Structure 1
Amino acid sequence: DFGLCESAEYFTAFKPGQQFWRATYVKGNPLFQVEAEYTDIPKVLRGYYKEIGGVLTENLERSKANGIRAGNVWVDIQQVFYRMEENVNGCYAQKPLKSCDRILRSSSEEGDTVVDFFCHSGSTLLAAERLGRRCFTMDIEPIYCEIAIRRLERYRLTGRTGWQNSNPFEKEILQDSRLQELTGCRSEASETQQLALI
């Protein structure tokens, strides 16, 4: 038997006569959107293949529902890699937009303010923009702040969520011949100019 001691700002669960074992800070009425938590059932959770009447079929008996709670391991979200449209070159700890979307949908409503203290590639900033939330974000590295700003500006202008095989600093690289030599990057315009000279 656990007792529950509640106040306006926190609750503590405890066993009578013993020290508390859990204290959680709560301010106001915490929001949690349960319907935002349901996802398609990943194939790895549907069940193993089994043979029925000589035909190899999926064992879907355990997954008759249309959705499943996301849980704490999200196998339905792909890690960002270089071939994805949302990829930002140079950001090696980039979080997928789908995971940021899921977190924001389940913990905030449209018009709410979101704070991200580690912006890196700006995935939370972009997800907040797409979902109608205000977002304040920061990073200790100025280069990541610049990347996040450029990513948001690019999204607002073109609707693209990343650079895939391009670079957030492509214009600067293409305008500086020394940087072109260092990076091995060449613009289509410079190639066209070289072809015109031939």
Structure 2
Amino acid sequence: MAPSSSSVKSHHVAVIGAGAAGLVAARELRREGHSVVVFERQNQVGGTWIYTDDVEPDPLSVDPTRLVVHWSIYDSLRTNLPREYFPFVIRSGKYRDLRRFPSHREVLAYLREFAKEFGIEEMIRFETEVVRVAPAAESDGEGGIRKWKIESTEKGKNDHRDEIYDAVVVCNGHYREPCLAKIPGN
């Protein structure tokens, strides 16, 4: 059984990423009475479900100075699970088409609606990238970490912003950079 919100101490929590996991984490944390800030490096919610037809000039990510344009979906992508596993998509009839596997557009539309419906957009710092997360100097006296320091930067600005949080929830996914095997001789 979940503790009642009156018995839970409110914390200042950072959520990194405004994809599906980040949106749900933000909603649940706020529902429990916590102060939540969501960091999202894109200009919209949706995470991996955001589609663009831009392609990266260096798909193997060898050039560190390249423009990063990495998306894990393609135009005709549909989920690999039937819509019965996506009750959030079938909840609203306006996104439903007759095919069994929802398109990436349906999933993204739902995530946008979810963020609006639960007031999550007001908690999101769009176009803000978290550059570093580290334990703050303070500890709880028992060797544990009491606070976290987050260093972030807003798109188009050179200055970094440092903030202290009680907790950090990492929901940034793992599709940003390709993972290349290290093969001797190459």
Q: Same fold (TM over 0.5)?
A: no
TM (norm. structure 1) is: 0.23
**Larger Rg belongs to:** 1
Larger relative helix fraction: 1
TM (norm. structure 2) is: 0.24
* Higher-RCO chain (CA-CA 8 Å, sequence separation at least 6): 2
